[in-house]
């Protein structure tokens, strides 16, 4: 409850801040973004509901260990109840100490006949308690508990998948923000070059071509900047969708790729950590254990069921006249035994179905382990490759920055042409963008490794 209140305050703060400050943006950290997403995302909520379903199934399975009581009351009017009616007279001899006296009398016996109409009232209280059911009740509880464990792992998997998506979207936003900053720096430098070229042109040191060339470069980078800002807005919308925030909220990422790459260590995760801790692997294992219990339940389908029962009843209008006007009550206690003698191999078919499902999950597990091994090895190789590229790119950037610095001085002194200066600037810009791309990919590979491990 406290977490929900904190989340509501946080989101409300975003909305109030946006409305009060127009286009001002509220910057959120990666941890805040993941927290908001985990609380709001519909996929995670659906996975939580699945856990609640499993918990309810466990409650249902445990209910079979308690007596089942029911009450049934019926009041109705019918015209088909029996009455006692006299039959034709029969002559019966009179006996005296077993000896006929010679006299006869006419007897009129009574017999029931279903043509009476009257009100009927029935009330029954029944209690049934299974004494033995072939361990089906116990195995049902175990099965639902294993099912709940599997759904909990699926919930964790959904949470980790969402966190990976949020990290990907967040790092993409940081990357585009850094690229925009690089382009703004390039525009600032080009404007400085343009002012130098104009001053030199006035003095007759440089030609008009230098001025036109720098003006062309400025327009080119302005178009690139507009394109990057459009991509940034798209990436920002994707992040807000993952966070399930309204369109009116105006949030943005915090920091830059360099700060994250410096504070994010390489995850210390082995292949065995992934194969033993991956949420999909664990979910399949729990699902297989649940099916083992279900197999026992189905196999016990033809075992006898022993149960105790009790009944208390109140009846009115069910007896023969003249007792049909009275109320009577009573009870019955006893035990019962139910045995399925033949079900046309239905039980056997159910057991075979469960076994086939278990085999399917087993094959899924094998395929998943192979996939995880491949993804782990690929991720490790990618990280090592990106680390090497990072070192080379950092060295290249240092050289490119120094070359650009020298080219700027040389151009100012009339030693280099504007084309050579542009080349030096382009090399430096490429080196910066290359390093940013490496940083983004490294952070994504770290996130992928954590996702595979289920952490």
Query: Residue 22: which residues within 8 A CB-CB, separation 6 or more?
Result: none
**C-alpha distances in Å from residue 289, one per residue of 29, 49, 63, 131, 355:** 40, 21, 22, 26, 12
Residue 22 has pLDDT above 90, yes or no: no
pLDDT band of 48, cuts 50, 70, 90: very high
Pair (329, 347) in one structural domain: no
DSSP state of 320: P
Q: Locate 127 and state its tokens.
A: 């209690």
Pair (263, 119) in one structural domain: no
Is 398 contained in some domain? Answer: yes
Pair (224, 309) in one structural domain: no
Is 46 contained in some domain? Answer: no
Report phi then psi at 246, rounded to 5.
Answer: -65, 155
Tokens 């699945």 map to which residue? 50
Instruction: Kindly report the CATH number assigned to the domain that includes residue 427.
Output: 1.20.1600.10
Rounded CA separation 329/313 (Å): 5
Rounded CA separation 420/92 (Å): 143
Pair (248, 381) in one structural domain: yes
Pair (330, 256) in one structural domain: no
Tokens 């700027």 map to which residue? 408
pLDDT score, position 16: 44
pLDDT score, position 110: 61
10 Å CB burial of residue 438 (0-12, 13-18, 19+) is: buried
**Comparing C-alpha atoms, which of 304, 272, 301 is closest to residue 454?**
272
Is 327 contained in some domain? Answer: yes
Yes or no: say if 210 and 418 are a contact pair by the CB < 8 Å rule: yes
pLDDT band of 111, cuts 50, 70, 90: low
Rounded CA separation 288/226 (Å): 54
Rounded CA separation 111/225 (Å): 107
For 225-279, write each residue's pLDDT tens digit: 999 999 999 999 999 999 988 877 888 999 999 999 999 888 888 999 898 889 9
Residue 180 has pLDDT above 60, yes or no: yes
Is 383 contained in some domain? Answer: yes
Pair (372, 265) in one structural domain: yes
Is 64 contained in some domain? Answer: no
Is 48 contained in some domain? Answer: no
Pair (421, 358) in one structural domain: yes
pLDDT, mean of residues 414-437: 91
pLDDT score, position 58: 94
| Structural domains of the chain, count | 2
Rounded CA separation 118/127 (Å): 30
Tokens 């077993």 map to which residue? 98
Pair (312, 439) in one structural domain: no
Q: What percent of the chain has pLDDT over 70?
A: 90
Q: Locate 227 and state its tokens.
A: 């394109």
**C-alpha distances in Å from residue 22, one per residue of 162, 239, 244, 249, 377:** 30, 20, 21, 11, 48
Rounded CA separation 159/39 (Å): 10
Pair (297, 399) in one structural domain: yes
pLDDT, mean of residues 351-363: 95
Last residue of a domain, one of 338, 363, 381: 338
Global confidence as pTM: 0.78
Pair (249, 330) in one structural domain: no
pLDDT score, position 108: 62
**C-alpha distances in Å from residue 71, one per residue of 311, 313, 367:** 10, 10, 54
pLDDT score, position 24: 56
Last residue of a domain, one of 316, 338, 360: 338
Rounded CA separation 423/425 (Å): 5
pLDDT, mean of residues 323-327: 80
Pair (127, 140) in one structural domain: no
- 185: helix, coil or strand? helix
Average pLDDT over all residues of the chain: 87
Is 62 contained in some domain? Answer: no
Pair (166, 102) in one structural domain: no
pLDDT score, position 109: 65
pLDDT score, position 275: 87
Annotate 273-298 with DSSP letters as a single string. HHHHH-HHHHHHHHHHHHHHHHHHHH
Is 60 contained in some domain? Answer: no
For 366-389, write each residue's pLDDT tens digit: 999 999 999 999 999 999 999 999
Which of 17-31, 108-122, 164-178, 207-221 ranks highest by mean pLDDT? 164-178
Residue 90 has pLDDT above 80, yes or no: no
Query: Residue 74: which residues within 8 A CB-CB, separation 6 or more?
Result: 120, 121, 122, 123
Residue 1 has pLDDT above 80, yes or no: no
pLDDT score, position 20: 41
Q: Provide the residue range defining the domain that includes 320.
A: 72-131+305-338
């Amino acid at each position: 409850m406290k977490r929900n209140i904190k989340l509501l305050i946080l989101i409300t703060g975003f909305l109030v801040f946006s409305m009060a400050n127009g286009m001002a943006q509220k910057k959120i950290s990666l941890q805040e973004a993941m927290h908001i997403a985990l609380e709001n995302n519909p996929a995670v909520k659906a996975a939580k509901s699945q856990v609640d379903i499993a918990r309810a199934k466990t409650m249902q399975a445990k209910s079979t260990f308690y007596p089942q009581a029911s009450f049934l009351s019926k009041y109705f009017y019918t015209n088909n109840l029996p009455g006692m009616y006299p039959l034709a007279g029969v002559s019966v001899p009179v006996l005296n100490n077993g000896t006929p006296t010679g006299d006869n009398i006419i007897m009129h016996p009574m017999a029931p006949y279903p043509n009476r109409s009257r009100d009927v009232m029935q009330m029954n209280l029944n209690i049934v308690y299974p004494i033995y059911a072939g361990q089906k009740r116990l195995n049902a509880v175990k099965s639902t508990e294993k099912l709940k464990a599997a759904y909990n792992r699926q919930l964790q998997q959904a949470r980790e998948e969402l966190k990976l998506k949020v990290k990907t979207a967040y790092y993409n936003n940081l990357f585009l923000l850094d690229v925009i900053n690089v382009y703004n720096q390039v525009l600032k430098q080009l404007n400085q070059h343009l002012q130098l070229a104009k001053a030199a042109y006035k003095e007759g040191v440089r030609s008009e071509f230098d001025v036109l060339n720098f003006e062309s470069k400025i327009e080119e980078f302005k178009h690139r900047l507009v394109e990057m800002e459009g991509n940034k807005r798209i990436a920002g919308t994707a992040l807000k969708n993952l966070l399930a925030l309204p369109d009116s909220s105006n949030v943005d990422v915090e920091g830059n790729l360099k700060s994250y790459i410096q504070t994010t260590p390489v995850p210390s995760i082995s292949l065995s950590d992934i194969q033993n801790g991956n949420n999909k692997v664990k979910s399949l294992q729990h699902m297989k254990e649940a099916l083992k219990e279900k197999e026992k339940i189905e196999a016990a389908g033809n075992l006898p069921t022993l149960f105790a029962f009790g009944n208390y009843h109140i009846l009115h209008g069910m007896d023969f006249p003249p007792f049909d006007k009275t109320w009577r009550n009573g009870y019955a206690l006893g035990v019962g035994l139910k045995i399925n003698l033949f079900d046309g191999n239905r039980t056997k078919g159910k057991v075979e179905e469960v076994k086939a499902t278990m085999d399917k999950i087993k094959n899924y597990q094998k395929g998943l382990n192979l996939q995880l091994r491949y993804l782990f090895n690929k991720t490790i190789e990618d990280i090592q490759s990106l680390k090497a590229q990072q070192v080379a790119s950092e060295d290249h950037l240092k050289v490119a920055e120094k070359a650009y610095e020298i080219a700027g001085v040389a151009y100012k002194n009339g030693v280099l042409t504007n084309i050579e200066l542009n080349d030096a600037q382009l090399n430096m810009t490429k080196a910066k963008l290359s390093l940013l791309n490496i940083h983004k990919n490294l952070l994504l590979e770290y996130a992928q490794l954590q996702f595979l491990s289920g952490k």
